[in-house]
Amino acid sequence: MSELLTIDSIHVSYGNIKALKDVSMHVDQGDIVCLIGANGAGKSTLLKAIVGLEPLVEGNISLDGEVIATTQMSGSSRHIKLFRRSGAAGTSSLRTDQIAGLGVALVPEGRRVFADMSVEENLDMGAFLVRDEQLIAKKKEEMYDFFPILGSRRKQKTRSLSGGEQQMMAIARALMSSPRLLLLDEPGLGLAPLIVADIFDKIRIINQEENVTVFLVEQNARMALKASNHGYVMENGRIVLSDKSEKLLADEKVRAAYLGE
Amino acid sequence: MGSISEFFQHLMNGLTLGGIYALIALGYTMVYGILKFINFAHGDILMVGSYIGLFTFNAIRGQQMGIWTIVAFFIAMIAGMLFSAVLGVLIERIAYKPLRRATRLAPLLSAIGVSFILSNTAAWAWGTKSRKLDYPFDNTPFTIGGVAITPHQILILVVVIIMMVSLKLFVDRSRIGKAMRATSLDQDTAKLMGIKADQIIAITFAIGSALAATAGFLIALEIKVYPSMGMMTGLKAFVAAVVGGIGNISGAMLGGILLGLLETFGVALLGIPYGMRDTIAFVALIIILLIKPEGLLGKVEKEKV
């Protein structure tokens, strides 16, 4: 399998606080990989760095061999450059919208639905880069089939949806662009166990039947490890363990620290 | 004059005035919706648009009043709109965009600076004397059921309604309009959808500035064109945007029209002296801020971290 996402010794800081320290990892084409860790370990920061919402202090991130984020921070430079066309050259970091254009979709933490817009309009936004109206309509129907609850609520404002429904909508919105790489930030957060199980089923189906590479970040280690083939464990901004998910599920330290056993 | 016809007279006057406020308020509210900042140069963009409209109209109108003068008037209006749109986009690029990551006070001060630069440059280049914009048609009022209506008022109402309906359709239905709403709701998530935030911001400035230029050109027929013409009108339209709920497009329309009605009826019915008319807007602002700080149609927003 070839590497779709490669993270090469990246560092990310918030002011003086180092959020990510020398993080390296990769996600293979077609794989489903998870990153587990406690709240505040730096998991969301890693996802934000991948989509260009956090600048790197050191290191590189590549998609399919092409560098999408590096330390020459053209995308977030504080220098005043007027009329600059950023992200055109090969060595500079791409903007978030450009990374989206390469087929990377993030389902952000806390879902971040466009609450004042209807379900249908949210899906339209997910397909912003798809210019073909017929294809958009077809994708929307696919989503309504895949998540029937969304089909029955398509004209409703998203704020009126329950947490689980909003999570499904956020996933459907990300799928509208037919991404190559789907990033999920805590898809189970704050949801009832039955709904979490349902969402993880859907994620597996997306991976297996739609052939979308999945990288998911979770505090719910058991669900995440069961759903994935490979797992990474993050503590205080560092990757401390990496192995096949089934091995991590059996690992003494993981069981004690993350599975409550 | 019967009291009913008097009421409709004030209603007509209030609606036209309110329509103008609404057009200008839309620019404040759209920019605020996306950048969370008040473009205090908005009134001066209106002024520049009015000058460009005036110059264009005088250059192409010809001698005789007729159909051509009306066509020329609209061509001049569009010229003013286009010029202001480009000016608005340039101002954002030069004076606001570099400050987007600075403290919230920085772009605000920059906007006040731009406001002075524009009005002083206009005074230097075109003089401080106000210039008359001639009516492109005979503006003799006609009477319907005891209500005197001028063709100018009809013109304002028609233009305002066309602008508002097209803007509403654009924002609600079009791909870019929806992207504008998405960007105003959550800019980072909008970027995740592949939306270019800079492009959306530029379009927002272009539309807001064009609407302000339209409003400026329409009132120029009555109040003439001068370098500080955008000051008070702009300030009151800003009040209208806040009263309606800043960031909310329907709120700006409602706030503008309410303010126009309030000023007209305040003077006519409540006996507020005409010289005190300008204070009505600010008293309304204070009352709204005390009772409903988020504005009539605004939503309570959690401060983003």
Residue B241: partners with Cβ closer than 8 Å, 6 or more residues away: B25, B26, B28, B29, B32, B251, B252, B255, B256
CA distance A114 to chain B (A): 6
Length of chain B measured in residues: 305
Three-class DSSP category at A174: helix
pLDDT level of residue B146 (50, 70, 90 thresholds): confident
- Which tokens is B34 given? 């996306």
- State the best of B174, B192, B248 to mutate against chain A, taking most chain A CBs within 10 Å: B192
**Which secondary-structure segment (H or E) carries A28?**
strand A17-28
Inter-chain contact A97–B179, Cβ cutoff 8 Å?
no
CA distance A4 to chain B (A): 19
Contacts of A101 in chain B (CB under 8 A): 194
CB of B305 less than 8 A from some CB of A: no
- Nearest 10 degrees: Cα torsion A205, A211, A212, A216: 50
- Among A51, A84, A89, smallest CA distance to A72 is for A89
Task: Please check whether residue A107 lies inside any domain of the structure.
Answer: yes
Helix (H) or strand (E) holding A209: helix A193-209
CB pairs under 8 A between A and B: 67
Contact at CB, B191 and A95, closer than 8 angstroms: yes
Residue with tokens 């009040």: B239
Q: Which positions ≥6 away from B184 have C-beta within 8 Å?
A: B33, B34, B247
Q: Do B189 and A116 touch (CB under 8 A)?
A: no
Residue A243: inside a domain = yes
Please report whether residue A197 resides in a domain.
Answer: yes
Does residue A127 lie within any of the structural domains?
no
CA distances from B164 to A226, B12, B27, B185, B252 (A): 54, 18, 12, 21, 11
Cα–chain center distance at B56: 21
B147-206 residues touching A, CB cutoff 8 A: 175, 178-179, 181-182, 185-186, 188-197
pLDDT score at A91: 59
Give the residue from A29, A24, A103, A21 showing the smallest Cα distance to A68. Answer: A103
> Which amino acid would we find at residue A83?
F
User: Sheet harboring A58-63: ordered strands across?
Assistant: A17-28, A3-14, A58-63, A66-69
**pLDDT computed for residue A90 by the predictor:** 45
Measure the CA–CA gap between B155 and B70, rounded to whole angstroms: 11
Contact B179 A51 (CB under 8 A): no
CA geometry: angle B204, B208, B210, nearest 5 deg: 120
Residue A26 lies in a domain: yes
Contact B192 A128 (CB under 8 A): no
Range of the domain at A103: 3-78+88-113+179-258
Residue written as tokens 């319907």?
Answer: B144
**Neighboring chain B residues of A173 at a CB cutoff of 8 Å:** 193
Question: Tokens 């499904």 label which residue?
Answer: A168
**Contact list, A114 vs chain B (CB under 8 Å):** 181-182, 185-186, 189
Taking phi first (over 0 means left), then psi (-120 to 50 degrees means alpha), and beta for anything else, what does residue A231 get?
beta
State the Cα–Cα distance between residues B164 and B154, nearest whole angstrom: 15
CA atoms within 13 A on the CB side of A35: 28
Beta pairing, strands A58-63 & A66-69: antiparallel
Separation in Å, CA of B145 to nearest CA in chain A: 44
Report the residue from A78, A95, A128 with minimal CB separation from B193: A128
Q: Do B188 and A53 touch (CB under 8 A)?
A: yes
> Using a CB-CB distance cutoff of 8 angstroms, which residues of chain B are in contact with residue A126?
193
* Number of domain units in chain A: 1
Interface of B with A in 94-153 (CB under 8 A): 94, 97-98, 101
- Residue B288, Cβ density class (10 Å: 0-12 exposed, 13-18 middle, ≥19 buried): buried
Euclidean distance between CA atoms B243 and B266, whole angstroms: 17
* pLDDT, greater one: A86 or B305: A86
B113: nearest Cα among B41, B46, B213: B41
Give tens-digit pLDDT for A170-187.
999 999 999 999 999 999
**Model confidence band, residue B2 (pLDDT cutoffs 50, 70, 90):** low
Q: What is the CATH number of the domain that holds A54?
A: 3.40.50.300
For the sheet with A32-37, list strands across it.
Answer: A104-107, A181-185, A213-218, A32-37, A230-235, A238-244
Per residue of chain A (261 residues), give pLDDT as tens: 689 999 999 999 988 889 999 999 999 999 999 999 988 899 999 999 999 999 999 999 999 999 999 986 544 444 444 444 444 444 588 999 999 999 999 999 989 999 999 999 999 999 999 999 999 999 999 999 999 999 999 999 999 999 999 999 999 999 999 999 999 999 998 899 999 999 999 999 999 998 999 999 999 999 999 999 999 999 999 999 999 999 999 998 889 888 877
Rounded to whole angstroms, the Cα distance separating B124 from B156 reads 30
State the amino acid at position B238 in one-letter form. F
Alpha-carbon distance of A30 to A207, in angstroms, equals 7
Predicted structure pTM score: 0.89
Which residues of chain B make contact with A105, given a CB cutoff of 8 A?
192
Give the number of other Cβ atoms within 10 Å of residue A131's Cβ.
Answer: 9
| A222 falls within a domain | yes
d(CA B205, CA B211): 10
CB A34 within 8 A of CB A225: yes
